[in-house]
Amino acid sequence: MGENVTIKELIKDLNLENFTPDIDTESIILKHPDINRPALQLAGFFDHFDSERVQIIGNVENAFIQTLNDEKRKETYDKLLSYKVPCVLYARGIKPDEDMISYCVHYGVPCLGIEQSTTYITSELVRWLNVQLAPVISIHGVLVDVYGEGVLITGDSGIGKSEAALELVKRGHRLVSDDVVEIRKVSQQTLVGTAPDITKHFIELRGIGIIDVKALFGVLSVKDTQSIDLVIQLEDWVKNKDYDRLGLEDNYIEYLGNKVVCHVLPVRPGRNLAIIVETAAVNHRQKQMGYNAAKELYNRVQANMAGKD
């Protein structure tokens, strides 16, 4: 899994209200990307209780709580919070009663709130946790948003990745990360790339040094996260190597168990890498939309040969 995420980060990123500010939320770690609505637990059934998950209380749960007498309600709170759940989150602007806050303080469980609906916070929380807790690796490369396609440029040090990224930024595209890209697997189909905080928005150009892309080209030239849709591997041109000239079949590279389309691009003086990367991104999108230029050419050749017969 990725880095640990704390309740403090959860409160900050989702702008939650904290009803128990005296509890140390930085020391409470979330390890599970799912949530739980404790309806059965409030009714007294604790078998298979997912106590390590965020507990969300919405209208239904709160309405049931209101049907309990004082003694039964306190007993229910005591049992629920004795499992040391990571936090209790009230949706729809519902305010916890004094007994809930008292038991939360007693067991050191943060009690939080949000104005949005239960459905909204459930989906948003699961999405946020899946990103934060996703498996993560760091690779050497450059990630750029080109026409909405996330293009990861890899290759040996000094081959021209950063120069290509700078030219792409000059052409109106957006830099996500230079030199090191942190890749997270947020689903079985999606990889998301980000920059380490320390190098975010910076590019290293040999002979010039470090440049701040955001400061030089403006906020529209950078982006914090981007799905990885295409990988371009730069390598030195080898004269007698057989490079793919048609592109009938896609080649793939695998990160964290997910496959991504990969093109090997030979580099030699005179080749404009930025234009080639732009073209590769547009061509990839075109293939995703069902049109393959190589197959169209193949079909034309086949039709031409059949006509001659």
Q: Is 156 annotated as a binding residue?
A: yes
Has 290 been labeled as part of a binding site? no
Annotated active-site residue in 50, 99, 179, 250: 179
User: Was 259 annotated as part of a binding site?
Assistant: no
Confirm whether 127 is a catalytic residue: no
Query: Which is the catalytic residue, given 53, 161, 174, 185?
Result: 161
Strands (E), the chain: 5-6, 17-18, 29-30, 35-36, 54-57, 88-90, 111-113, 136-140, 142-146, 149-155, 174-177, 180-185, 191-194, 202-205, 209-212, 225-227, 230-236, 251-255, 258-267
Q: How far apart (Å, rounded) are the C-alpha atoms in residues 300 and 309?
A: 14
Q: Considering 48, 239, 245, 268, which one is annotated as catalytic? A: 245
249 is in an annotated binding site: no
Question: Helices (H), strands (E): how many in the chain?
Answer: 10, 19
Annotated ligand binding at 24? The verdict is no
According to the annotation, is 159 in a ligand binding site? yes
Contact yes or no for 137/254 (Cβ under 8 A): no
Q: Is 160 annotated as a binding residue?
A: yes
Cα 137 from Cα 10, distance rounded (Å): 22
Residue 89 main-chain phi, psi, to 5 deg: -120, 115
Residue 284: closest CA among 257, 250, 254, 253: 250
Q: Is 245 among the residues known to form the active site?
A: yes
141: annotated binding-site residue?
no
Q: What are phi and psi of 298, to 5 degrees?
A: -60, -45
Q: 223 catalytic, yes or no?
A: no
Set 127, 140, 206, 259: catalytic member: 140
187 is in an annotated binding site: no
- Backbone phi, then psi, for 10, in 5-degree steps? -60, -45
Determine whether 173 is an active site residue: no
Which residues fall in the annotated binding site for Mg(2+)?
Answer: 162, 204
Which residues fall in the annotated binding site for ATP?
Answer: 155-162
**Active centre residues (catalytic):** 140, 161, 179, 245
Which residues fall in the annotated binding site?
Answer: 155-162, 204
